[in-house]
Every structure is written in structure tokens, then in C-alpha cells.
Amino acid sequence: MQIFVRAVELGSISAAANELNLSSQLAGKHVRALEQGLGIKLLNRTTRRQSLTDVGRVFYERAKNVLAEMEAAEALIAETRAIPRGQLRISAPITFGSRALAPEIADYMKQYPEVSVDLCLTNRTVDLVDEGFDVAFRTGELPDSGLLARRLAPLRLVLCASPSYLKSAKKLREPKDLAGHECLVFSHTSLRTKWSFDGPLGRVSVPITGRFSTDSGEALRAAALAGAGILLQPHALVSEEIESGRLVRLLQKYEPAARPLHLLYAPDRRMTPKLRTFLDFAVQRFGEAKPSSHR
């Protein structure tokens, strides 16, 4: 098939033979074998010129596509065997990126010493293609887009406050009681207006208000430690403070609704060894997932 396609494109079987480092006789034999196998005549040949038959013209267009697909498949196999190298640009939310992702990236870089990582921590939604990112971690429900998404394990949230705040605050027995409390507001997501919990009677969502708001989880934690109010943030951000008693976990009969976490990449992004290995690594470290198209 390859000899036939090149013979059409170069104008003769002998020219195709030269390019493919074959004798003209052997190349001609391959083309005749192709015609015999198909039971059709593909080329009209004379001593001076060749031309495609009508069915040969149709077969040529299909054969050219088949060979292109084969070449792409072979290139993909070659890439999967290649050593991951080059710079990997990653975008992630600030708290998740600094608390959970950065320590794991250290392990990834040990496994693949020829890959360097540029980690950009921001709570805004970046444009992967325009800003040149290979992958982006996103929390919350995904809006419609043309990106591919790998669903990771949801982020577990914790409701807590400092002992100094709780000393003078009203009793907190169930989520609706949050209406009488100072809530520390994370201004970046839907958490700025309501908090949701899973309890004995199912999921309940309650509106929250507070005089202090910021798009930084670290700043919210500092405010909570200073006794400014009640905090709802990822477990990774406050686990040490809860363990030490500087923050106290609240409403333990009610589990805060976890935040979805996805790893996104562009569908037209070439699946290089560095991208493929990082996707697999992230899924292994942050939760099992199936690739899906989110459009």
C-alpha cells in the first residue's frame, strides 16, 4: 500500500522504489500483489506513463488516510517509550497547590529527573491554551468547556473555630445555627454565600454571612486562629491546628459537603511523555478517575 501511494504521488513505481530503497522489480511486484489481493486494477501502466484507474483513485485516497493513521499510531507508541523531559506547566488553587500538591510534585520530579515543573498557584480560572499550561487542577463543579477532565477524589472540608472564639459565641448545635455566628468567608467560590452539610436527614445548605472575606485560605486560617470566626476549609489546611487543639472541629454529626476536584488538559494537547506520566501520577496520588470529555 505504501509503495502504491508513493508511486501515485511521485509519478512512477521506479521513483517510489528509489525513495523506499527497493528495486523497481520488487516494487512492481508489491503493487501487482496488492491489485491481485483486491481483485481490481489500480494503475494503468505503459512503458512511458502510468495513470490511476477510477477505482484506483478512490483507493488511493483511502490508502493515504490509512497510512497516515498508521504513522500516527507508530509515533504514539514511540512517544510512550520515550523518556519524559522538558518543562511541565501546572496551574492549581493556592491552598491545594501549596498544602497537598507541592509535596507530591517533589516525588514526581524524583521519578522523572529530566522534567522540570513550573507550578502557578492562583484561585482564578486560567486559560490553559492561551497561558501555556499543560494541566490545571480545578475545584468545584466544572462549567461547560472543550477541556478533557480527570475526576479526582473530592476535597474534604472541615468546619472549625478557635477555643477563644467559642468561649464567647452562641451554641452551635446544627447548621442553621450558623446564622448567629461570624463566618469567615472564602470569596472565590460558592462557599462565599452558603455552606452545605450531610447529616442524619440528608444534605442541608444554609446561608452564611461574615464581616471578613478573602480569596486566601491561608488568610482565613490566620483569622480563625485569632478568634475572628468560624472557618470552613480543606482538611489539609487545618489538620495540624486541629490536632494541636488550636482549632476545634464543629458539628461533628454533620459532614461538610466535599468539593469536587478535577485535573484538566486540552484535547488538542499533544500527549507527550511528561504529560502522560503526570496525569497517571496525579490520578494515583489524588484519587482514582476515568478520563472524560467535559464539553
Q: Which domain holds residue 20?
A: 2-81
| CB half-sphere exposure, 158, CA atoms < 13 A | 20
**Residues 252 and 162 grouped into a single domain:** yes
Using CA atoms, how far apart are residues 16 and 247, in angstroms rounded to an integer? 76
Instruction: Tell me phi and psi for residue 30, to 5 degrees.
Output: -65, -40
Euclidean distance between CA atoms 288 and 154, whole angstroms = 11
Three-state DSSP class for 251?
Answer: coil
Shared domain check, 150 and 121: yes
Quickly count: other Cβ atoms within 10 Å of residue 61's Cβ.
10
Q: What is the CATH number of the domain that holds 20?
A: 1.10.10.10
pLDDT(117) > 90: yes
Please state the separation of Cα 47 from the chain's center in Å: 58
Contact residues for 182 (Cβ-Cβ < 8 A; gap 6+): 165, 169, 210, 211, 212, 228, 229, 230
Cα separation, 67 vs 71, in Å, equals 6
Residues 164 and 232 in one domain: yes
Q: In the predicted model, what is the mean pLDDT of residues 58-80? A: 82
- Other CB atoms within 10 Å distance of the CB of residue 239: 14
pTM of the shown model: 0.66
Residue recorded with cell 507550578: 119
Res 291: pLDDT = 43
Contacts of 67 (CB under 8 A, 6+ apart): 1, 2, 5
139 and 263 in one domain? yes
Instruction: Look at the chain and report how many structural domains it folds into.
Output: 3
The enclosing domain of 124 has a CATH number of: 3.40.190.10
> Do 170 and 252 have their domain in common?
yes
Q: List the CATH number of the domain containing 174.
A: 3.40.190.290
- 39 and 6 together in one domain: yes
Residue 50 main-chain phi, psi, to 5 deg: -130, 155
Domain boundary among 65, 81, 97: 81
**Domain boundary residue among 81, 97, 121?**
81
Q: Is 45 exposed, middle or buried (0-12, 13-18, 19+ CB in 10 A)?
A: middle
pLDDT digits (tens, 9 = 90+) for 125-179: 888 888 889 999 998 888 767 788 899 999 999 999 999 999 988 999 999 999 9
Q: What is the pLDDT of residue 270?
A: 67
User: Residue 289: what pLDDT?
Assistant: 41
Count CB atoms within 10 A of the CB of residue 140: 16
Buried b / exposed e over 8-39, threshold 16 CB at 10 Å, is beeebbbebbeeeebeeeebbebbeebbeeee
Q: Are both 176 and 50 inside the same structural domain?
A: no
Shared domain for 150 and 265, answered yes or no, is: yes
**pLDDT confidence bin for 218, thresholds 50/70/90:** very high
* Residues making up the chain, counted from first to last: 295
Mean of the per-residue pLDDT values of the chain: 88
Same domain, 53 and 138: no
